[in-house]
Amino acid sequence: MDMRKRLSLRKEQVAVSLRKHGAADVTARVILVLDASGSMSFLYSKGVVADVVERMAAVAAQLDDDGEMQAWTFATHPARLPDLRLAELPQWLRLHVRVGEIGLFRRSKKRGLEPGQVDMRAVGIGNEEQKVIAEVRAYVRANPGAVPTLVLFFSDGGIYRDSAIESELRAAVSEPIFWQFVGLGRARYGVLERFDTLPGRQVDNVGFFAVDDISTVPDPELYDRLLSEFPTWIREAGRHGIL
């Protein structure tokens, strides 16, 4: 089945999940965040991350009024990627779904970058989630919109900046952003696993779930899990005057 047909079927499945959660008419800005730390290299090389992006493009196609998705990648440092337009999905996947150039025993050779590509060596291989969270928050503040923002944030864990991440996400409670984190494996997710039970927040602005192997999770189940808390947050954020 070609990509356009897959995208169309998945877009319908996203609509089904939204209806199921009472959010059939919701529109939102969708932002994608991709972990590119060193431990993610296997998931990139196996095509798992590219498949995830293709599946998330259907969420933007259904929710976003212009069908475009802003995107960031991060490891030691965050970097904004070019906006993902659905018509350009195959090329976008080829150009922008990448990890750092890692050379364990020698420096990796400098490779020529194609137009718009981020130099992934500058992004590094570490885990600094709080930096990209801050950058996405700043982007939304600088580009206010009439609709809420849904951030789809993919990481394979190894999270250790708990207090800095918690501080960013607590500060974001009054902002029109819902943060949906998805864990790609069995690694440590630290504060993200505890956020649902953290007290002292006006609304619950964070969702989290982890899967052992996302490529084995069928689309209906993935979209149901991905979109289960977002509609509840929209209602609560509306009640509290955040939206």
Stretch 90-97: mean pLDDT = 95
**What DSSP string runs through 19-64?**
HHTT-TT---EEEEEEE-SGGGHHHHHTTHHHHHHHHHHHHHHHH-
pLDDT at 69: 96
Residue 136 scores a pLDDT above 90:
yes
Rounded (10°) CA dihedral 38, 213, 19, 203 = -50
Cβ neighbours for 1, distance < 8 A, ≥ 6 positions apart: none
Residue-wise pLDDT tens digits, 206-236: 999 999 999 999 999 999 999 999 999 999 9
H or E element that contains 141 = helix 129-142
End-to-end CA distance of the chain: 39
Which residue reads 């500060």 in tokens? 171
Q: What is the value of pTM for the model shown? A: 0.94
pLDDT at 101: 67
- The pLDDT mean for the chain works out to 91
* Domain 3-97+123-238 in CATH 3.40.50.410: yes
- The number of beta carbons lying within 10 Å of the beta carbon of residue 124 is 18
CA distances from 107 to 44, 101, 104, 111, 117 (A): 21, 9, 8, 12, 20
Top pLDDT among 101 and 134 is at: 134
Nearest to 57 by CA among 49, 68, 72: 68
Residue-wise pLDDT tens digits, 172-214: 999 999 999 999 987 889 898 887 777 788 899 999 999 999 9
Distance CA 59, CA 162 (A): 28
By three-state DSSP, how is residue 236 classified?
A: helix
Residue 56 scores a pLDDT above 70:
yes
Stretch 6-23: mean pLDDT = 95
Residue-wise pLDDT tens digits, 153-163: 999 988 889 89
Distance CA 179, CA 140 (A): 13
Helices (H) then strands (E): counts for the chain:
10, 6
